Chains A and B, each alone.
Chain A
């Protein structure tokens, strides 16, 4: 598999007032292969959305680099980045706020191609509407006339207008009902297969992630704590946090194990040592002093834990 996008030691810090620093993403290295789906999962504030945006140049990293097809795209000027924009596009969670309510769907879908001076717009729109399962009668209508599921289909169609190689989808199904969610999950899978577009899929829902992704990266307080094949990781998590996340999903078939104590600490003052040690049921004295590195434990599997689960 060829590498499409690579991040090296990527960090994104925000300076706050009072001289404090919010470390949203710290020292993340990852790769996205051509055509693969990588899921970024974690709880609110773990930095998954910030990482997703920083990967495709929506906001410059504080340090570290991003390479697209081997060329460095971090640190480029907005103007220089423009050449890369059609190659990577974003799908946002809330489809009701990403459309201009005063413009017709046809107008909105055409905009990316107009901006990049493409021709054959009408044809392209026709092809994509068919691919996302909508008819061309939608073109003269306005965003509010659609249901959440239909709007999410349009949102995806718009992101695909320029034929990107990489799609970053931030919680694309979280605002949807479960029956509609299943439709969008299926659609994204089909599109990935037919178009070969790679996908960075940001989600907090492990069941949806398992259905959609090839690989998974679990984040906690701005760092990746576990990474690997999605089925392998969810079958046997090696990091206690991944285990806890998986156990906390309410399921019809078994009772909830005792929940994790406490809540995610503030990313302004992350704990010393392993950031998870304050909530970890298996923490040892070493965990509060020494931060574990994200080490390779098996082929394609990395874990940041001094005492990984078997």
Chain B
């Protein structure tokens, strides 16, 4: 750990001004060349985690620590944030239609970002924009740069947004459900692109609800439930043998694409608790098939195996 960690969240807590806890005790690490998948269902806090790393939630009370390249981000000033965002880390969102300004061409918006951070001429900036769009697989990048967001298809818009995020060569790319709005064949193209970005040495944090997407693009995974990390570890190990009952249930609920067709899919009874009504003990206990008396105390993350952590009493020695 330590030196090679690009991003390190340590016991991060996030609270609403009225004291309702949102994130509780989130600890995550992203290394260079790694991709961490943060996976969970709606309302699990996965986007909150991403946004707090980018400093996009100034009105929430945060404690703990977020370190990026060894530097503490919590409590940083707006001016410092502006220098970091785009250059150190960049974010892409689910819906590129709303992330781009509709009244300017996408090329102009990418040029602007480059010129904001680096002293280059308009012409140089445009040349870099065109080269970037080309690298992202946009056909005829020169013409595409002159187009407005609504003139591009969903897949091309998402490529343009990734180009914008990569324009200042950030060390960390945060992607919040980047393929959820896309068709599967286009999603496959974008996932391949994300794999290439990771392979080129950047760190990637991918927020998604889709276990399949995590398996395809990530090296590590953190499963969040009710704003808590319940399990984390290397992707292959977690997919092959999930430890936490929630991870197990989540994987079982996906209908199979081959083999026998079950009469009924396994489901998870009940639903996640609201942030202000979380149980005292394990947050998943009310829905868990293995629940037992000692679940009444909130379980900390344990490390039953090298590199794997799980918040569940089942793994006490």
Contact = CB atoms under 8 A, between A and B. Distances in A.
B192 A179 contact: no
Interface string A258-275: 111001100000000000
Contacts of A182: 253-255, 265-268
Contact of B210 (A43, A183, A247, A250): A250
Contact of B250 (A178, A185, A208): A178
Contacts of A255: 216
A235 B257 CA distance: 9
B274 to A, nearest CB: 11
Contacts of B216: 250-251, 255-256
Which one of A44, A186, A206, A256 has the greatest number of beta carbons of chain B within 10 Å? Answer: A256
A251 B215 contact: yes
A186 B265 contact: yes
B76 to A, nearest CB: 34
B98 interface: no
A179 B258 CA distance: 19
B309 to A, nearest CB: 20
B42 A235 contact: no
Interface residues on B, range: 35 or more
Contact of A246 (B213, B256, B257): B257
A179 B184 contact: no
A181 to B, nearest CB: 7
Contacts of A177: 41-42, 209
A259 B189 contact: yes
Which 4 pairs from chain A and chain B are nearest by CB?
A250-B212, A259-B188, A43-B183, A211-B255
Contact of A263 (B186, B215, B258): B186
A178 B249 CA distance: 10
Contacts of A246: 257
B271 interface: yes
Interface of A: 43-44, 147, 149, 177-183, 185-186, 189-190, 204, 206-208, 210-211, 231, 234-235, 244-253, 255-256, 258-260, 263-264
Interface of B: 41-42, 153-156, 183-189, 191-192, 209-213, 215-216, 239, 249-251, 253-258, 261-268, 271
A259 B254 contact: no
Contacts of B209: 177-178
B265 A263 contact: no
B257 A249 contact: yes
A171 to B, nearest CB: 13
Given A178-B254, A179-B249, A207-B254, 9 more contacts: A177-B209, A186-B265, A204-B183, A204-B184, A211-B255, A245-B184, A248-B187, A250-B212, A259-B192
Contacts of A251: 212, 215-216, 257
Q: Interface centre among A204, A210, A234, A235, by most B CB within 10 Å?
A: A210
